[in-house]
Each structure stands twice: as C-alpha cells, then as structure tokens.
Amino acid sequence: MSAPLPVGTGSNLTARSFVSFILVGGFATGVQYAVMSLLIWLAGYPLVLASGIGFAVSAAANYLLNARLTFRSKGSHASTLPRFIVTAVLGLALNSLLLAFLASFGMHPAAAQLLTTLGVLLWNYTINALWTFRNPTR
C-alpha cells in the first residue's frame, strides 16, 4: 500500500491510486475515442459534439471502476455519484473548451484531443481524489 501524498487526512492522492486512475482512464479514453470516431466518420457529427458524447458514454464505466478500484470508496453512491457528476460535467466543459481552443489554431483533431485529454486527466484525478471519493480519516 502506498503512502498518501502530504495533502491532509482522508486524501486519496497516492501513487497506487494515480496509476490505477491512469489505467481506468485509459480504458475510458479508449471508449471515448471509439465513440467519437464512429460519430465523426459514420454519422458526420462535428468534432466537439462527437467528443462530448464520447466523454459522456465513457463516464459511467469511469465512475464505477474508479469508485471500486482506484479510490476504494467507502461512501455510498448517493453521496459520491452526485459529486462525480459535477466533476464529470466540469471535466466535459474543460474538454470542450480546450478542444475548441486548440482546434481554433488549426491543430489536427487527434493532437488537439490528446492534449485536451492530458489536461482533463489532471483535473479529474485531483478533484476525484480530494473531493468526489474522499474517504473518512484513515
């Protein structure tokens, strides 16, 4: 078991949780990219809308896997799910704003989405560890 980073009691900011978050996030990102690609190439959706829909589809798996595996949440779904939804909605807004901003400079959609994903990953890990899935003092 890895020691928490010095952020206060009840913190989920650990090396183990960060690695797990990246693995879970990698899976969820794969889901997002697959949905986004299908919507763009098969249905002709615009980039930002397709990415947003993919983000939303991947959020359910992301929540369940992070609650169970990454943060080993002891909280009820009644308390953690609303927090996760707030975090995800803010993450979606960040995803859309960053993606649109980077695309406005003519950046290739794949590169823009990759950079956007890195920014959203850091946001989501920090907020989920410190607020969404925060466990009582250990």
Q: What's the pLDDT score for residue 57?
A: 85
Q: Residue 43: which pLDDT band, with cuts at 50, 70 and 90?
A: very high
Residue range 62-70: average pLDDT?
A: 93
Residue 34 inside a domain? The answer is yes
* CA-only gyration radius of the chain, Å: 16
Residue 10 inside a domain? The answer is no
Q: How many domains does the chain have?
A: 1
Domain extent for 97: 15-132
CA distance 34 to 31: 5
Tell me the β-bridge partners of 20. Answer: none
Residue 6 inside a domain? The answer is no
Question: Which residue type does 127 have?
Answer: I
Q: Residue 137: which pLDDT band, with cuts at 50, 70 and 90?
A: low
Residue 4 inside a domain? The answer is no
Residue range 24-51: average pLDDT?
A: 94
Higher pLDDT, 22 or 57: 22
Residue 87 inside a domain? The answer is yes
pLDDT at 97 over 70: yes
Residue 120 inside a domain? The answer is yes
The answer to whether residues 138 and 2 touch, using CB atoms and an 8 Å cutoff, is: no
Residue 2 inside a domain? The answer is no
Q: What is the pTM of this model?
A: 0.70
The answer to whether residues 98 and 111 touch, using CB atoms and an 8 Å cutoff, is: no
Residue 1 inside a domain? The answer is no
* Cβ atoms within 10 Å, residue 111: 11
